[in-house]
A = this chain, B = another copy of it.
Amino acid sequence: MTPSEARLAQQFAFLNEIDKLKTILRASELTDNSRFENSAEHSWHICMYAMVLSDQAAPDVNINRVIKMLLLHDIVEIDAGDHPIHEAVDLAAVEAKEAAAATRIFGLLPDDQRDDFHTLWREFEAAQSPDAVFAKSVDRVAPVLQNLACGGGSWNKYNVTQDQLETRVGAKVARGAPAVWAYVKARVDEHFARRNSKAAQ
């Protein structure tokens, strides 16, 4: 095997392995309520969010880097599973599992790409750089729209209050895309007002 074939063998080993992300189910449902969403199609959808909402990003955000970050941000779930933000979890244990997953899965790639992907994933997780802050906004806002479209979705399942939603989701969306959260929050408020008025009847 030539060095160039060996490189392709590593790249295809990685590309085959990540097919498994299509089998990792999330807490959000499709907007038609037909089934739970998987992490691969979610990753596609939020890349579309990033592309469409790019005019909402701060001027120092590089949308191409954001899209690459979002494409690979959930790959660790192949080993570590998806952990809905409204579920009580041992955060340190999840972080340790995800770090091990990143090492194993990105480790299938040639060394230069392994390091690039690992760095991009760590930057996303740290949520400090302008690109990561915007990427997180997009990742957090998409399930809100999914839940609004299907009558509450995971908010009903986990009994999420409006205050919890503001802390766990709203604050993070607003950090990278304030006008987006202002717009979506108005729809969220309407949803909860309808729910509360039904509960009071």
Which residues of A are interface residues toward B (Cβ below 8 A)?
4-5, 8-9, 11-12, 14-16, 18-23, 30-32, 34, 37-38, 40-41, 43-45, 47-49, 51-53, 64, 67-68, 71-72, 109, 113, 142, 145-146, 149, 179-180, 183-184
Contacts and interface: CB of A to CB of B under 8 A. Distances in A.
Given A30-B22, A67-B67, A145-B15, A40 B44 contact: yes
Nearest to A67: B67
A29 B3 CA distance: 31
Q: How many copies does the complex hold?
A: 2
A66 to B, nearest CB: 11
21 contacts: A11-B53, A15-B45, A15-B142, A15-B145, A16-B145, A18-B45, A19-B149, A20-B31, A22-B41, A22-B45, A23-B32, A40-B44, A40-B45, A41-B41, A41-B44, A43-B44, A44-B44, A44-B71, A51-B71, A52-B109, A67-B71
